[in-house]
Structure formats: C-alpha cells, structure tokens
Structure 1
Amino acid sequence: MEKESAGRRWESGTLAHGVSDPFGQGPLPWLRSPDCYFEGTEAAIPWYVSTDAPGQRPLPAAPPPLIGAPRNSDDVVQQIKGFSSAGTVHPGGAVDLRVTVNPPRDFLVDVYRIGHYAGAGAQHMNASPLIPGIQQPAPLVVGRTVSCHHWWHTWRLQIPAHWRPGAYVAVLTTADQRHRSHVPFTVRDPLGAEPAAELLLVLPDVTWQAYNLFPEDGHTGASLYHAWDSCGALVGEAQAAVTVSFDRPHAGAGLPLHVGHAYDFIRWAERYGYDLAYATASDLHAGLVEPSRHRALVFPGHDEYWSEPMRRAAERARDGGTSLVFLSANTMYWRVDLTPGPAGEPNRLLNCRKRQRVPPGSPAAGLSGTASALWRDAGEPEQQLIGVQYAGRVAQPVPLRAANTWHWLWTGTGLRDGAEVPGLVAGEADRYFPKVALPAHSERTLLAHSPYQDEQGRPRHQETSLYRAPSGAYVFAAGTFAWSPALDRPGHTDERIQRATANLLDRVCKAG
C-alpha cells in the first residue's frame, strides 16, 4: 500500500506540471500513458512517431516495437534514472552518463536522433553493450536545491565524427526489459565547420530545468514552481526552489516538460530539408553561439527563462542582421542567472528567486531593488525585443483568428481576415501592450488577433507579431504554445500553419 500511495503522489506532481502544457499533458502525450496508446493496434508505438502528419506513411498492421515495451521508471523507486554531465557535445566528443539502477542490475543504452526519417520520427544511432548498473547515492539536498553531481560516472558515449548535429535521446533500459528512462542531449556542428547552416535551432534547456521537479517522490524534489511539504503535498512558487541544478535526471520519463514542441519543429523542418544547426540556451548564455554565421536563430518551444547574456546575444543577433523566430509564447519572462556547480563546472546551477525573499548576495537575488525577477521589473519588458509579450494563460484552446492576411506570411494558406485556425491559441498567449515601448523597426504587422478567456474567465486576446529591425532582420513571435505542435504533433497538425512557417523561414533565409 505504501508504494501505491507514493506512486499517486508522483502522479500528482505530473498533473501539477500539466496545467502549463497547452493540451493538459506531459512532454509528449504518449509518454504519460501506456506504450500501446494507439487505439486498435496491439503492438507498442514508439514515443517519437507522428501518426497524422501530412505524408506520414501508414503504420503496418503490427509494427515491431522499436524500443520494446518496458514501463517508464518513476521517481519514487528510481528503477533506472540518469543524466548527462554535459548537455551539448561536438562530433568526436563524448557524453558521460551518470545512471542509477534500483535494484542494481545490468542495463542497455540505445541512442536515437530526432528527425523526420520518412515518418519514423527518429533514427537508431547506437546500441551499447550490457553495462553494470549500480544504485547511486541519494540526491544531495541543500535548502530546496537537489543535485546528483556526486553520482559516479557510469558510461561514456563517444560521438563519432560522422554523426549529424541534432537533438538526441539516450534510452536507458534495464536488461530484464522491465523499465526504461530517457536522457536528452544535443550534438552541435563540428568545430570550425564551414559553411554554417542557415538556421540555428536553440533548444530551451534552461527553461526545461526550471520545470524539472526531480525527484517527483512526494518528499525531496523541487523546481522553480513546486516543492513538497511534510505531508507529501505540492506547494507553490512561494515555497519552491530558487536554485535548481542541471546535475540531475529529468522527472518522470526522463524527458523535459514541453520537449515535444522542439521535436515537433525538428521533424517538420528536417522533412522539408531546412538547413539546421543546433545549440542550447546554455550555449547562448556561455557565448558559444555566433549569430552572424546564420540567417536566423529559431526558438522552437517554450523558452521562458533568460539570463542577461542570453538576451544580449539575441539583441546583437537582431542588430547584426540575423533574424529571430519565436515559435511559442511567454518567452523571456523571468530573468535568471547561471552559476557554477559544486565541483566548479560552469553554468550548472539555475538561479531565479521569482517573488521570494533571499539573502543579500544570493545568486538568485536578481537586480537590487526589484520586486521580482521579471524582466519587466528590471525595466526591460520582453516586448522591446520580441514585439509582443506574455498576457496570460488560456483556459481552453480557442481558434487563432488571422489578421492582415494580405501579408506575405499568409500567402498560400487560403486564410482571409477573421478566418479561424481551430485550437491554435492554447496554453499561454502573448499580445501587444500599447503602453510598452516597441523595438526600432522599419515595418511591423500583427498577424492574428484572437479572443480567449483566461483561467478566471476574464476576456483577453492573443496576437501574433512580425517586425523588421533597421538591420533588415525579421523578428517573429507566434504568441501561442500551440504553433510548433501544429507543424507535426499527432492530432494537432494544420497545413495552413505549416505553409505560413515555410513562408517565414524561406523569407528570413533569403533576407539574411
């Protein structure tokens, strides 16, 4: 009975996070449900398969399971959990995995690269030999900060020089095939690679850690949103962590909340042959991104937490002629700082006090005299870069109502002013704030104006924005969580949004 109760507490953490997902689900719909999620099919469907994207190959009557049918590990027993010591690596480098297995037994690692791959959704890249698994020490907890930096290195994945840049997932599976977990990582371009790809995809790993409640065990875990009280109930932001560590697994199935939004864009973009390079928000923070080498930086998913170096890098990119494409909403809302981990590795701790009180000099303190860690409170509203900014949560998905459909972005979509794209305004929404200064621009257009109700039933509206900076760079903001899912998410694809996104990327690639 005790284990059953713990399991329910873990699920309650999952559901608490789900309120910020546009469809009330975890990072991918099928990760929070049994493997055989596709009605009428007996065999397991891999978690990365997109079943309804235009051009998707029909599934065979009994497709062989590509990963098998183990259950996802949970955070209570931690049957198998792991994380990588570095989130990004160049071809020829290595990814060190730290893994705990309870009870100790051998395990396997299968590595997949996310992409279209004729509709498969990913390609198997590597399989490990049997690896002896150990039960690692309990996570270290200081205040609300949970870290596993003291775990032993378990296995080194050497990245072959010929591997393509991309978003990768290491799938950890116990040798008895009973449990599995996932570890995401990113392979960047080869060092000194020329010429550079036209589009640089920036994966929001900083925001992913802000939401990470590992371990969701009813006792220890904490994120920047939640923690647990002494009775095993979730508490909110006022009692949540102000510092979280990158040195720990992701909660639940091991993939970040909202990771599906990035994968939706990747599958669609690679299907149509867009030239992509890959980096993370941490790379942007660390100065490892050179925007002038690319036509545009694409931010494909929910990207809420930005440090000052991240923002300055994006501003320099725009002012230097590199376009910015934001395919979500509530971007650049919280102002954060990244600091070294306990062993001195740079940028392994994420600090953000939100509205809590912290001691003077704390890395989470933010700017002196500010009421919170909002960029708005720091005197730099996000609209001054993005063109719109966060307006509120959307109680239930509603249609996006197109506006100014004469604009080239809507070419070929068949949309006219006032036409609706069902369910496209979901999760959270942005709009233009008339009392907030706009960035310098030579042209600017609001491409949607969509009424919705927030969670308190109050009427609000969403807007999609595009402006052109004096440098010639375009800055696009979708203003809704549901834009990337409309590109390649099962049950949510829309050919009009696919065409509009293609129009946008084609234009910024030519304008660079």
Structure 2
Amino acid sequence: MGTERNRRWESGTLAHGVSDPFGQGPLPWLRSPDAYRAEGEAAVPWYVSVDAPGQHPPPGTRPAPPVGTPRNSDDVDQQIKGFASAGVIRPGGAVDLRVTVNPPREFQVDVYRIGHDGGDGARQVHSSPLIAGMAQAAPLVVGRTVSCHHWWQSWRLQIPPDWRPGAYVAVLTTADGRDRSHIPFTVRDPADRLHAAELLLVIPDVTWQAYNLFPEDGHQGASLYHAWDGTGRLLGEAEAAVTVSFDRPHAGAGLPLHVGHAYDFIRWAERYGYDLAYATATDLHAGLVDPTRHKALVFPGHDEYWSEPMRRAVERARDGGTSLVFLSANTMYWRVDLTPGASGEPHRLLNCRKRQKLPPDSPAAGAPGSASALWRDAGEPEQHLLGLQYAGSVPSPVPLIARNTSHWLWEGTGLHDGDPLPGLVAGEADRYFPKVALPEHTERILLAHSPYRDSAGRTTHQETSLYRAPSGAYVFAAGTFAWSPALDRPGHTDERIQRATANLLDHLCKEG
C-alpha cells in the first residue's frame, strides 16, 4: 500500500487535537510491552497514534514491542473498526460490539478499565476468544450523516456483576497481529446500588461525537465541524453535517478527540480514593441521572454540546443542593438535540446546526428565531449557569495567574496573588463577561485572571470562577483546557492544581 493511502488523514480538527498537548493528549499510561510501534528503542503504547502529527512517545526507556506488533487501523481501508451498540451498560448486563474487518480475519478483544492502578493508568480486565471477523457493508450516508447502524453484531461482551463502574476501552486486534483499533464505553453503577457515590463523573460522549469525522477518508466522513467534497478537499462548518450518528466508530485510532481530558481526571481521582460513580452526557439527557444521590457532578473534560434536557437537569441539581464541577473550558456552548437512530434506538442522532439555514421543524434548527444553535442565541448564555463563559482559543499555552489566593481553594498550594502557573491556560479559555447576567448566588469569587493574546493578536484574559448558589451548592468552572491534564498527564502535571482540586472536592464532599 502506498504511503499516501497508508497515512492518517489530517483534518483541521484532528491535526489540532493531536498536536495540541491539551487536546487529544496521551491516554492512560500502560507500562507494558503491549505496544504497536517502536521509535528507536522506545515502544509506543497502544493509545498513542504515532502516524498523526505531533504524537510522540514521552522520553524514557520503554520495553521493545514484540515483532510484528499491530499498526493503527485507518479509515480508508478500515482494516478493523468498531463501535458499541446503544444501551445503558451496567455490571451484570452486556454491551454489543459491531466490528468490520478488512480483509476478513479473526480478531480478539482485550478490555481495559481506566484508572490509577499503581501508575499503569489502566488494567486489563478481560480478553475474548478469537472472533470471526467480517467485512461489514459500507457506511450508509444520507446527506452528510454517516451511520453504521446496519452492521451485524460481532460479539457480545457480558459485563460480570463484580466489574467496577468506570471508563473502559475495548482494544480490537486482528489475529495476525497486523491491525488494531479501539472502542470506548462506560459501565454505569447498578440500578439497585445501595451506596450512592459522593461524586458522579459525567463522560462527555455527546461532545465526542460532534468532533467525530468517521470515516476520515477524504470522501464520505463528516462531523459538526468538517466534511469532504469527494475530491479530498476538507470543507468547513458551513458545509459540515448538522446531524451525526453515534452508530459508527470514532475516526482514526477509534478513540475520541479530547478523550484524554476525562482519563486524566479519572486516574488522579482514583489514585486518591475519591468515591466515584459514572454516567454519560447521554444518560444525563435521557433522565437517567439522579443528582440527589451525589454531592457533586463532575464534568472532567471538554463538554461543549448540551441538549436542553441536559441543561435543565444540571440546573435542577444545583438548585437542589448538588454542586457542579467543570474542569475544562468552552462548556455548554452549542445547543443540541438527540433523536432516535435509524433503527429506532433513542438518543442515537446528535443534531446541531452551526450557522446553516434549516427548516424550523428540523431537529437541528435550534431555538425558534435564533441565528444559530448557540445557547447565547437562544437567550441563555452559559454564564447564567457556569458563572463565566467561552472567550476563545488560546494560540499557545500561557501561565494561569492565581488570584484571591487566601481563599480555601488555594490553601496549601503556596501560591500568592499574581503567581504564575506555567502553561495552565491552553487550548481554549473562558472569562467573566460583565454585560452578561450572573446566576443567583450568595458567594462568588474569581480565582485566576490570566492575560493572553488571541489568534488576532488582541490582549484578552482567562478566568477561573467559583460561586455558591442559594441552595448551598457550589459551581466551579476552571476556564481552561489545561486543568485536567495538570492532574495526571505525563509532562503536564502541576502539584498546585492537584492540591487545589483536592481542596475543592474535599470541601464539596464535606459540605454537601
């Protein structure tokens, strides 16, 4: 196969994500020979996409991979690609995997649970027998919407009753050892669980699909950001999809853009023994989350796309006394709708127009009369809930400048007002907008004020916010992509952010 055919397609979205250390970033660090390429003497773990720009293994000696280790499956030939079927996955239940293998070969599924696990970052919990692989039918394309809902089920993974809820990754490897891909999925708490965890982690699966360009093949793939014109030219938002399907693999290695943000928090939180339950943004939309069972809801990563049921559920949580923790930036920016998939399963299509013209009855049209699907255009700026809102992208990382360091959140960090935390404002940033109303509060404080130059060279700033609602609930918004990576990402950790986050969660667990 020629180099041109074998390379990973480099869309604007994905190229940015893998070259920006606060975008995709490394996933859980597995100290294991289970790697699929070697660069010199260093093995590259299964979660690093070495054929994408900017992805290089961290320095240090790594075990050499076995001879003939797998390469990353691409979206052109789709050597092995798959996705998890619809449904809430709980211990004692099952998840169906739909996988295509080209050319048809047997394959195996190794399942990992993301966590601290003694510094490994994940632990293998299951390995399947060899499974007969088949080349599934081509994806169905209607307009810009790509769906693989018609693929046959390849394997059913029975979730043992003793499996812990959490974030999992199914690693697909062809039996000949040539090709590999991944499927992320979330195991929720048992419905009848007597113990309610103090913290509920909400995995941003809706935002993950908004960025998914599968198939990233220069021909058919489309996300809410990009599409192809059929000749390999990448088109922008004006011609992107307005509806994308959950019934398809993720582009490239099969792992979502920005997935590292959530995994950074999980590894750190489980290392220090925080009591976590798990859910997805889709669960929140579907009304499957009961905030009253938890002291706080934690949104660990980039969580840009929110439906009205999601926002109302979180507003009710805050007003009922459950605290909210947002550890990224550009949260709750686009207003979306989730509708049933082609086979009737609920919540399998994500609908959102950017600034395209659509009929008013389209599920992607947004609020009646709005110029776009922005929550701001619907008359509900995100600051009404978060206490601040999206300001823009950050061309290169700059220091986060600490403010109000006598506050309990900064206790034990050694920081004084004006002290910099290098590189902690990165990717995208939020700030307080004085002309936008604040949520009702009994206390409010800004804990960082960090100047930077935007892509146009104008001076602006980032802020970190904390307020207390009349119900007693706290709402924290980090205001930067770099907060979660500072917790447990190799090369980006910051002990002061780790301590501040511990102060925050400890306070919420004690006060909740």
TM-score of the aligned structures, taking structure 1 as reference length:
0.93
What is aligned with 1:248?
A: 248
What is aligned with 2:291?
A: 291
Q: Which amino acid aligns with 2:25?
A: L
1:340, 1:346 within 8 Å by CA — same for their partners in 2?
Answer: yes
What is aligned with 1:275?
A: 275
Quote the offset at 1:230 in angstroms.
3.0
What is aligned with 2:10?
A: 12
1:318, 1:469 within 8 Å by CA — same for their partners in 2?
Answer: yes
What is aligned with 1:55?
A: none
1:85 to 1:205, Cα distance in 2 relative to 1, 3 A: same
Contiguous gaps of at least 5 residues in structure 2: 29-33, 49-57
1:38, 1:45 within 8 Å by CA — same for their partners in 2?
Answer: no
What is aligned with 2:52?
A: none
Alignment of 1:174-185 (within 5 A): 174-185=174-185
1:306, 1:332 within 8 Å by CA — same for their partners in 2?
Answer: yes
1:465, 1:478 within 8 Å by CA — same for their partners in 2?
Answer: yes
* SS of equivalent to 1:292: helix
What is aligned with 1:350?
A: 350
1:165, 1:278 within 8 Å by CA — same for their partners in 2?
Answer: yes
Deviations 1:85-133 (A, max 9, x none): 0364010000000000000000000000000000011011000000000
Contiguous gaps of at least 5 residues in structure 1: 49-57
1:37 to 1:30, Cα distance in 2 relative to 1, 3 A: farther
State the alpha-carbon separation in 2 of the partners of residues 36 and 493 from structure 1.
26
What is aligned with 2:446?
A: 446
1:323, 1:473 within 8 Å by CA — same for their partners in 2?
Answer: yes
Quote the offset at 1:194 in angstroms.
1.3
* SS of equivalent to 1:302: coil
2:387, 2:466 within 8 Å by CA — same for their partners in 1?
Answer: yes
What is aligned with 1:51?
A: none
1:378 to 1:21, Cα distance in 2 relative to 1, 3 A: farther
Alignment of 1:227-266 (within 5 A): 227-266=227-266
State the alpha-carbon separation in 1 of the partners of residues 73 and 64 from structure 2.
22
Q: Which amino acid aligns with 1:379?
A: G
Query: Number of aligned pairs?
Result: 498
State the alpha-carbon separation in 2 of the partners of residues 66 and 165 from structure 1.
32
What is aligned with 2:313?
A: 313
TM-score of the aligned structures, taking structure 2 as reference length:
0.93
Quote the offset at 1:64 in angstroms.
7.3
State the alpha-carbon separation in 1 of the partners of residues 88 and 419 from structure 2.
42
State the alpha-carbon separation in 2 of the partners of residues 399 and 212 from structure 1.
30
Deviations 1:284-307 (A, max 9, x none): 000000000000000000000000
State the alpha-carbon separation in 2 of the partners of residues 228 and 507 from structure 1.
48
Partner of residue 28 from structure 1, selected from 16, 25, 28: 25
Deviations 1:394-438 (A, max 9, x none): 011000000000000000001100000000000000000000000
1:87 to 1:227, Cα distance in 2 relative to 1, 3 A: farther
* SS of equivalent to 2:497: helix
Quote the offset at 1:46 in angstroms.
4.8
What is aligned with 1:226?
A: 226
1:165 matched to 2:162? The reply is no
What is aligned with 1:379?
A: 379
Quote the offset at 1:69 in angstroms.
3.2
2:149, 2:248 within 8 Å by CA — same for their partners in 1?
Answer: yes
What is aligned with 2:407?
A: 407
1:505 matched to 2:505? The reply is yes
Quote the offset at 1:259 in angstroms.
0.2
Q: Report the RMSD for the aligned CA atoms in angstroms.
A: 2.2
* SS of equivalent to 1:109: strand
